[in-house]
């Protein structure tokens, strides 16, 4: 189990923030979510190293990088702009993730989480899913925040330049 997720474990369940992309449910550990913001003006950064960096936003005096999870996950673009930004604490950076909507914060029982299988994701070396959980009648994909960004991407963000 990944360190960040393991850090929030209780005896039977732990809290997650459930959000949607392309009508599919995803979730981040609530302990790593700093806040949820409405969509705001995004300043594009020309010639970024990574196509999934949407740009930067200004949040209470800080300039933060913004990642487009659709691009990162290889999902099709949406006709209308996504309407929420989820700010997440990573070990050395705070980053915003563009999502379609935020559904709820819910406790997910440990036994409801199944690890993903090798070969399900396209790039096994950069497996971005920690697991899949059954929440009610829905399946929720759990991205692994520790590998969502490659080490060199973490280094860029920690160096205060997302481009």
pLDDT (tens digit per residue) in 77-86: 877 777 899 9
Q: What domain count does the chain have?
A: 1
- More confidently predicted of 87 and 110: 87
Q: Is residue 88 part of a domain?
A: yes
- For the sheet containing 33-38, what is the strand order? 33-38, 84-90, 93-99, 62-68, 53-59
Measured between alpha carbons, how far apart are the two ends of the chain, in Å?
31
Is 35 within the bounds of a domain?
yes
Residue 16 lies in a domain: yes
Helix (H) or strand (E) holding 64: strand 62-68
DSSP 11: S
The CATH number covering residue 133 comes to 2.40.50.180
Residues 6+ apart with CB under 8 A from 45: 53, 55, 56, 162, 163
Within a domain: 163: no
Q: Which domain holds residue 49?
A: 3-158
Burial of 20 (0-12, 13-18, 19+ CB in 10 A): middle
The residue to which tokens 């950069």 are assigned: 126
Q: What is the pLDDT of residues 16-54, one digit of tens each?
A: 999 999 889 999 999 999 999 998 888 988 877 667 788
51 DSSP assignment: T
Query: Taking the alpha carbons of 86, 100, 66, 75 in that order, is the dihedral positive or negative?
Result: positive
| Predicted confidence band of residue 7 (pLDDT cuts 50, 70, 90) | very low
Query: 52-66, 67-81, 108-122 — which is least confidently predicted?
Result: 108-122
Question: Is the CA virtual torsion 33, 54, 160, 91 positive or negative?
Answer: positive
Instruction: Classify residue 139: in a domain, yes or no.
Output: yes
Work out the pLDDT band at 73, boundaries 50, 70, 90.
confident
Structure tokens given for 10: 């209780």
Q: Helix, strand, or coil here: 5?
A: helix
Residue 135 is assigned to a structural domain of this protein = yes
């Amino acid at each position: 189990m990944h360190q960040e997720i393991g850090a929030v474990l209780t005896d039977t369940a732990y809290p997650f923030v459930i959000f949607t992309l392309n009508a599919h449910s995803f979730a981040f550990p609530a302990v790593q979510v700093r806040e949820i913001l409405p969509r705001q003006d995004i300043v594009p950064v020309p010639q970024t190293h990574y196509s999934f960096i949407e740009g930067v936003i200004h949040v209470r005096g800080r300039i933060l990088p913004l990642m487009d999870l659709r691009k990162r996950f290889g999902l099709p673009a949406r006709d209308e702009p996504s309407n929420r930004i989820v700010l997440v604490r990573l070990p050395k950076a705070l980053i915003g993730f563009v999502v379609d909507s935020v559904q709820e914060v819910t406790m997910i029982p440990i036994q409801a989480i199944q690890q993903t299988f090798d070969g399900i994701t396209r790039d096994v070396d950069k497996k971005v899913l920690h697991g899949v959980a059954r929440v009610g009648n829905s399946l929720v994909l759990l991205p692994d925040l520790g590998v969502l960004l490659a080490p060199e991407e973490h280094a860029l963000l920690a160096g205060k330049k997302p481009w």
